[in-house]
Structure 1
Amino acid sequence: MGLNGLEDRVFDAVLFDMDGTLVDSTAAVYRAWARWAVEHGLSEDQMRGHDGIPAASIVAKFLPEAEREAGVLRINELELNDTEGLLVLPGATEALAAVADAPNAIATSCTMPLAKARIASSGLVAPKVLVTADQVEHGKPAPDPYLLAAERLGVDPTRCLVVEDAPLGLQAAKAAGCATLAVVTTTAREKLQADAVVSDLSEVRFEAGPEGIRVRSA
């Protein structure tokens, strides 16, 4: 399996998405949004295609401005109260361990309370830098989350590798100037526009050294 040249590069940091990349929260997310949709008279079809987008942006698409704050509070409540069945995805634990002593971060479309709840429920050992949707003015697909993660790590975003599972997350990474590695965990391979695409993180290994971080085929 090739990585389309990523293996020839040295990165200053690795920036991970969370849901669908490190943690499988699909069932919990589906349950929460399905209930929210029913409560707001929306169909299942209307709720599709929003992977990787902050909840506030999804709510804004469907509710008038006067109802959006309440709508966001409600989906946050539903998601925080349902973290059952979360699983760490293959290779995620090993990937985080490999770069534990090197610059790395999670940049997620979750809010901070929800991100912490899902990390705790999954048992994932998260990096010290955690960027959430409530910390940036514009969430994915805007570049803000990845730019802020790079800033907090003190690195140039163009020397960062982003690991993502969603097309809009990859769009955010590219807009930030980062290299991209996509995992086929929630989206069909042909829909993932990245520098390299793998089934999941078990297909790669990260090597951190004095010069920086490299990614190799496992």
Structure 2
Amino acid sequence: MKTHDPTTAATATAFIFDLDGTLVDSVYQHVLAWHEALSQVGINLAVWTIHRKIGMSGGLMANAILRETGVVLSAEEAGSLVRLHAEAYARLSSQVVPLPGACELLAYLTEMRAPWAIATSARIAGARPTLEALGVPPGVPIVTRDEVAHAKPDPDLFLAAAERLNVPITSAVVVGDSVWDLLAARRARALGVGLLSGGYGQDELERAGAYRVYNDPADLLLHLDEVGLRSVPSTRPAAP
């Protein structure tokens, strides 16, 4: 179902946001959850090596770790990794909060009638608490891993979000915090914008295709003119 009509919006610019590390401060909870899940099947990795893969789909990430470590698991053990991660993350999810400026940014886009959506590699069960913390209003398209054939770095999530917004993907701005977000944005032929709030460096994000890189959602809010939104607040609007 298409939930936005761009002909009624004040701007032609549509925004598609990643969730973890982009709008909510959850990257390290995911890292620790993966560390716990891997430990339960006998794989002990330094957390920094796990961080380098956050942003990929869970299944693809598990496959990459198994390939790189050379560990051979039974089909049952390999299949349990994503479930173990989800269980561990659920125990840590109460620590997750919106990143600075995230609620204000989304409220401002809504006020400006700029179409926006969220596209996440998480499944809806894991994403629901953070979506509630952001106060996402009814009618905003939310595309999760449950709804597409492949998650990032494939472009499926962003393409589905653009379709739900009823805008061409080539006119959309995709905002993400990882190289996997920006690779998926490039493959979708959208304009990629990077945020440093997920722990990747500016040079990495730019090499992956970021047109601009900002510190966090608060920084992006103050520079929306650079990505095509014509009216930009001089100060942050109050949170809804």
Whether contact under 8 Å (2:41, 2:77) holds in the other structure is no
**Could you say which residue in structure 2 is the equivalent of 1:77?**
87
Residue 99 of structure 2 is matched in structure 1 by 89
In structure 2, the partner of 1:196 is 212
User: How many Å separate the matches in 1 of 2:150 and 2:180?
Assistant: 13
- Structure 2 residues without counterparts, runs of 5 or longer: 1-10, 67-72, 235-240
Cα 1:217–1:162 change in 2 (3 A) is: farther
* Structure 2 equivalent of residue 114 of structure 1: 126
8 Å contact kept, 2:30–2:54: no
What letter corresponds to residue 22 of structure 1 in structure 2?
Answer: L
CA distance in 1, matches of 2:168, 2:79: 35
- 1:107-186 counterparts in 2 under 5 A? 107-120=119-132, 123-126=133-136, 128-185=140-197, 186=199
1:12 and 2:24 are equivalent in the alignment: no
**Aligned match of 1:5:** none
Query: Which residue pairs with 1:6 in the alignment?
Result: none
Q: Retained in 2: the 8 A contact 1:32–1:75?
A: yes
Deviations 1:34-54 (A, max 9, x none): 211211222223534112111
SS of equivalent residue, structure 1 residue 171:
helix
Please give the alpha-carbon distance, in whole angstroms, between the structure 1 residues aligned to 2:117 and 2:77.
Answer: 33
Q: CA RMSD in A?
A: 2.4
Give the match's secondary structure for 1:83.
helix
Selected match of 2:55 from 41, 52, 55: 52
Q: Offset at 1:89? A: 0.9
Tell me the distance in 1 between the aligned counterparts of 2:119 and 2:182.
12
- Which TM-score applies when normalising by structure 1? 0.84
Query: How many Å separate the matches in 2 of 1:152 and 1:109?
Result: 17
Select 1:67's aligned residue among 53, 56, 77. Answer: 77
Which residue identity does 1:55 align to in structure 2? G
Judge which range, 124-133 or 176-185, deviates more.
124-133
Residue 218 of structure 2 aligns to a residue whose secondary structure is: helix
Question: Kindly, what percent of the aligned residue pairs are identical?
Answer: 32
CA distance in 2, matches of 1:190, 1:51: 17
1:95–1:206 contact (8 Å) kept in structure 2 = no
1:119, CA displacement in angstroms? 2.5
After TM superposition, give the deviation of residue 13 of structure 1 in Å: 1.0
Over 3 Å counting, the alpha-carbon distance change for 1:11 and 1:197 in structure 2 is: farther
How is 1:92-107 mapped onto 2 (pairs within 5 angstroms)?
A: 92-100=102-110, 101-107=113-119
Unaligned runs of 5+ in 1: 1-9
Distance 2:105 2:53 in 1: 26
How far apart are the structure 2 equivalents of 1:175 and 1:85?
A: 33
The answer to whether the Cα contact below 8 Å between 1:174 and 1:180 also exists between their aligned partners in 2 is yes
Matched to 2:200, the amino acid is T
> How far, CA to CA, are the matches of 1:107 and 1:206 in structure 2?
23
* Structure with more of its chain in strand, by fraction: 1
Residue 135 of structure 2 aligns to which amino acid in structure 1?
V
Instruction: Select the structure that is richer in helix.
Output: 2
**184 and 29 in structure 1: CA distance in 2 versus 1, 3 angstrom threshold:** same
Measure, in 2, the Cα distance between the counterparts of 1:12 and 1:77: 37
2:42 maps to 41
Counterpart of 1:7?
none
For the residue of structure 2 that corresponds to 1:41, the secondary structure is: coil
Runs of 4+ more than 3 Å apart = 63-68, 212-218
| AA in 1 matched with 2:136 | A
Residue 30 of structure 2 aligns with which residue?
Answer: 29
